[in-house]
Each structure stands twice: as structure tokens, then as C-alpha cells.
Amino acid sequence: MSKHKEELERIRDLPDEELAQAYDRARDELFRLKLGLYTNQVEDTSSVRRKRREVARILTIMTARARGKEKQAQGSAAAAD
């Protein structure tokens, strides 16, 4: 399985409260990465892009759950059954 799919499954498995916390953490990390980028303290500039996409994935899942189009996944073990 690709890293992208694993990351997506991990995010979808989180309950709503933890998903909101993950969103807050990711936004804070993105802010710190951007700040480091402007002060030339970030060596890996692609990390900003990866973090921005992670924030977007989390926000997409939160929006889908709010609209009732997606529910929390029950883990990969339940998907195998």
C-alpha cells in the first residue's frame, strides 16, 4: 500500500475529537514551517507542501463528516472482514 493511502486510512480512523486536535497540530506545524522558511531555517522546503496537503486532507474529512457523507472508519481489520 502506498504511503498516501496509509496516511489517509490513519486520518480516517481518528474519532472526531482527535481529528480536530490533529487539524490544530498540523496548522501549527504548518505555521512554524512557513516561519522557518522565511527565516531560512528550513532545509527541506518540500515539507511545507506535504504539511499543507495534510491539513487539506484533514479538513476534507472533517467537512465530509459534518455533511454526513463519511463516517469514521472502523480500522483496517474491519475492512478486511
Map out the domains of the chain with their CATH numbers: 3-68 (1.10.287)
Higher confidence at residue 2 or residue 61?
61
Higher confidence at residue 78 or residue 20?
20
**pLDDT tens readout for residues 13-70:** 999 999 999 999 999 999 999 999 999 998 898 999 999 999 999 999 999 999 988 8
Measured CA to CA, the distance from residue 39 to residue 43 in angstroms comes to 11
Measured CA to CA, the distance from residue 74 to residue 80 in angstroms comes to 10
pLDDT at 19: 95
Measured CA to CA, the distance from residue 20 to residue 18 in angstroms comes to 5
pLDDT band at 8 (very low <50, low <70, confident <90, very high): confident
